Amino acid sequence: MTAITSPRDNSQRASQSRLLFQLTIALSAVGLVADVLFMDLPADYPLENPSGFGQTLLLAQSGLAFLQIPVRVLTIVFFLQWFRRAYFNLRLLGQRPDHSDSWAVICWFIPILSLFRPYSIMKEIWYGTGATTGAGTDSRTVLRWWWLAYIVHYGLGQMAGKAQMKAETMAQLQSASSLSIISSLADMASAALSILVIGHVHRAEQRLQLRSQIAGLGGPAPEPESLLPTEEESYG
């Protein structure tokens, strides 16, 4: 029988991930407004020699695009750290996950598999920790909407990016902006639902940690931090 221990603390990763998703929502909202304003520019606006409000808008869009790159990278890094730790904790809870914690990260980057494996692993995390959305809300519905929003955002984002790269005329750029607007809406929905899901799992992990601490009252003193395995040793 697998020994049951307290899940490793995942609070910092959860907080960092939610903060970055909040920043993602803010940047996507600004980008959405910029795209809407760009759609209102005249169809014959001179892209070769921009001036006035149009020039300011184009510069703002370029700056926003560059700013979104590091935010997107950091969001992915911190979310995957949280995701891996949450999956790793299932073993400490005495459960038998279907995959290794390393696979919880790798599966996001494998074509085709990335369309369904991360979702199945998130379901394992959700139900394995006992996360709940509260009375009157179906947990499966929350996870399904979370994953649907991610897939839609990813697909539309790819389409909008390719359309913008190929665009040469004002009409083509405005057409790409219409796709970008829908992508931004899906991005905000995906980020908001990610914040929701991370929050519910985090609270469930905290409850499990508290129960473990209460159950361990009167037991032997815990090992000093210096004697505990490092993350690299724990993850193998």
What does the pLDDT look like over 166-195, one tens digit per residue?
888 888 888 888 888 999 999 999 999 999
Q: What is the pLDDT of residue 69?
A: 93
- The DSSP call for residue 176 is H
Torsion sign over Cα 11, 186, 30, 51: positive
Q: For residue 39, what are its two tokens?
A: 């759609």
Q: What is the pLDDT of residue 136?
A: 45
pLDDT confidence bin for 121, thresholds 50/70/90: very high
**Region for residue 185 given its phi and psi (left: phi exceeds 0; alpha: psi -120 to 50; beta: otherwise):** alpha
pTM: 0.83
